[in-house]
Structure 1
Amino acid sequence: MRIKDVIHAKASQDVVTISPEATVRELIALLAEHNVGALVVSDDGERVSGIVSERDVVRRLHADEAVLDSAVSQIMTADVRTCSGDDGVTDLMQTMTEHRIRHVPVVADGRLTGIISIGDVVKNRIGELEFERDQLDHYVHQT
């Protein structure tokens, strides 16, 4: 299975981005509004400058409440792991596990085309296992 297959199965393929200059307070509002765990940081909505997650906010907020008025660029991860729609889901699962990340931007020709979360991957895997179970059940009951 390819990442593009998982992306196409999502209810929405929209990717919410935020400017590096936006405040962490604005970031929190967008995370809540869109019910997502991370946003891609981008100046233009196409190039990936970074990624920022709920974890990033919580870790910084614990140390300093003033972070709410800081720029997103101050807490984002700038070294972003990305993937391509043609990459395999199994490889992505390994990357997410090894690097302890839950959200990976999907890019094509340097342009942001989607985002895939660990929840998307798990949902896809459950669907595959249910299909295999149903096929085996059908086979067993036919003989």
Structure 2
Amino acid sequence: MLIGTILRSKGSEVTTVSPAATVRELLARLAEHNIGAVVVSTDGVTIEGIVSERDVVRRLHDRGAEVLDAPVSAIMTTEVTTVGPDANVDSLRRTMTTQRFRHVPVVDGDRLVGIVSIGDVVKSAIEELETEKASLVDYLHR
């Protein structure tokens, strides 16, 4: 299965936040959209970073509550792993597991076109297994 297949099913909407937004504003955006990470982007098309709930928790632990008024750029990850819509989901699942991250922006060329979470990847694996199971059961009942 390809990443583009996941995007066709879940949609390509990506929640972004400006690097100048405060961490407090970031938290409001995460809560409002019930998500665990956002892409940091000035224009909604290019990727300047990514920031997750984990980033916030770690910085709160390190720096205390003053981090809430700091800009997102102060806590974001700037070296962002991305994937294209034609990438293989199995390969991405292995990468996400070994590198221990849960959200990967999808880019087509230099343009942000979606985001996939580990939940999306696991869901696609389960759907694939269910399809294979149904095919095998059908084959056995012939």
Q: What range describes the TM-score normalised by the shorter chain of this pair?
A: over 0.9
> Structure 2: which amino acid aligns with 1:61?
L
SS at match of 2:141: helix
Give me the whole-angstrom Cα distance separating, in 1, the residues matched to 2:141 and 2:109: 48
What whole-Å deviation, never above 9, does each CA across 1:12-61 have from its counterpart, x for those lacking one? 32100000000000000000100111000001000000000000011111
Distance in structure 2 (CA, Å) of the matches to 1:97 and 1:71: 29
**What residue is the counterpart of 1:32 in the other structure?**
31
Q: Which residue number corresponds to residue 70 of structure 2?
A: 70
> TM-score, with normalisation over the residues of structure 1?
0.96
Amino acid at match of 2:67: V
Q: Which residue does the alignment assign to 2:110?
A: 110
SS at match of 2:115: strand
Equivalent residues, number: 141
Q: Distance in 1 between matches of 2:86 and 2:24?
A: 35
Please give the secondary structure, in 2, of the residue aligned with 1:134: helix
The alignment partner of 1:76 has SS state of coil
How high is the TM-score relative to the length of structure 2?
0.96
Name the Cα RMSD after superposition: 0.8
Runs of at least 4 residues of structure 1 off by over 2 A? Answer: none
94-103 or 52-61, which deviates more = 94-103
- Between the aligned partners of 2:81 and 2:98, the Cα distance in structure 1 is 12
Partner of 2:101: 101
Structure 1 stretches lacking a partner, 5+ long = none
Structure 2 unaligned residues grouped into runs of 5+ = none
Residue 21 of structure 2 corresponds to which residue in structure 1?
22
For the residue of structure 2 that corresponds to 1:120, the secondary structure is: helix
In 2: Cα distance, 1:35 partner to 1:25 partner: 15
- Post-superposition Cα deviations, 1:76-129, rounded to whole Å, max 9, x if no partner, equal 000000010011111111211121110000011211000010000000000000
In 2: Cα distance, 1:95 partner to 1:135 partner: 29
- Residues 1:134 and 2:120 aligned together: no
